[in-house]
Structure 1
């Protein structure tokens, strides 16, 4: 088989899988479709670099991983400033002390992570975060990347990463309290 035939087969075999992974990581189907298209173009243009040491799926997923990192890097750098007015008053004090108290979660409530409805609410809350924050939350918590790796991918220092993650958790807490715990 020649390059074009092989590549047509790869598109048939792997494009749906690539799109599912990209949609999961980006939470936006249109951006995911664009990114998968970029992955396939990049793979086609560098087809000669494919070594059959790995499977085509592994190679394409590696290209996707790099494209997603580039996507997040560019999004992170171009996002407008984030306001913390929701949490702090004009003098810089907490508006409510609730955000610094721990949730008392029983063992039964840890089962929430297996609850489809709760997970949908959590996803909506993550999507409502400022984009810079949701990018970090997805990379760190959902993709389970280590802090140095996330910091390197987005070109931020780890102190900034921890601050954004803390603020994200506070906003997620507020969102979940409003959209889940107060209704259920």
Structure 2
């Protein structure tokens, strides 16, 4: 088989799994489709480096992961302004101390992750985060990458990452309080 024929069969066989993975990682179908297209372009360009020691899908998924990391790195750097005045006043004090309090949840409430409506609300809250917060949250919590890896990919310090994750959690909590718990 020629290189073109092999890659054509890969596009037919692996577009679906790669697209599902990309949608999961990016939460945007159009961006995911673009990334998958870039994966096949890269695979075509570097086909000679594929040694066949792994399955083609494994190799393509590795390329996908690099493309997603590049996507997040570029996107992370493109939105430099994040405002914190929602949480802090001019003196740097908390506007609302309630975000620091624990939720009082019963054992029944702990089953909340099984609730599809809650999960939908939670995903919407994640999508409402500023890009500079959403990207690290997705990488750390959804992709389950370690802090040093996230920091390296986004070119930020680990200390900065922890601050971003903390602020994101506060924003998510407020969003969930308003859009879910207050409606119970």
Classify the TM-score, shorter chain: over 0.9
Matching residue of 1:95: 95
Matching residue of 1:132: 132
Cα distance in 2 for partners of 1:17, 1:130 equals 28
Matching residue of 1:166: 166
- What displacement does 1:104 show? 2.5
Kindly indicate whether residue 84 of structure 2 is the aligned counterpart of residue 84 of structure 1.
yes
Cα distance in 1 for partners of 2:14, 2:107 equals 40
- What displacement does 1:54 show? 0.1
- What displacement does 1:80 show? 3.0
Cα distance in 2 for partners of 1:5, 1:15 equals 15
List per-residue Cα deviations over 1:98-137 (Å, max 9, x = no partner): 0111222332222111111111110000000001101011
- The within-5 A match list for 1:68-79 is 68-79=68-79
Matching residue of 2:110: 110
User: SS state of the match for residue 6, structure 2?
Assistant: helix
Number of residue-to-residue matches in the alignment: 184
Kindly indicate whether residue 119 of structure 2 is the aligned counterpart of residue 119 of structure 1.
yes
- What displacement does 1:167 show? 0.3
Query: TM-score scaled by structure 2?
Result: 0.97
Cα distance in 2 for partners of 1:70, 1:83 equals 25
Kindly indicate whether residue 9 of structure 2 is the aligned counterpart of residue 9 of structure 1.
yes
Cα distance in 1 for partners of 2:3, 2:110 equals 50
Matching residue of 2:179: 179
- What displacement does 1:57 show? 0.3
The runs of 5 or more residues in structure 2 that have no matched partner are none
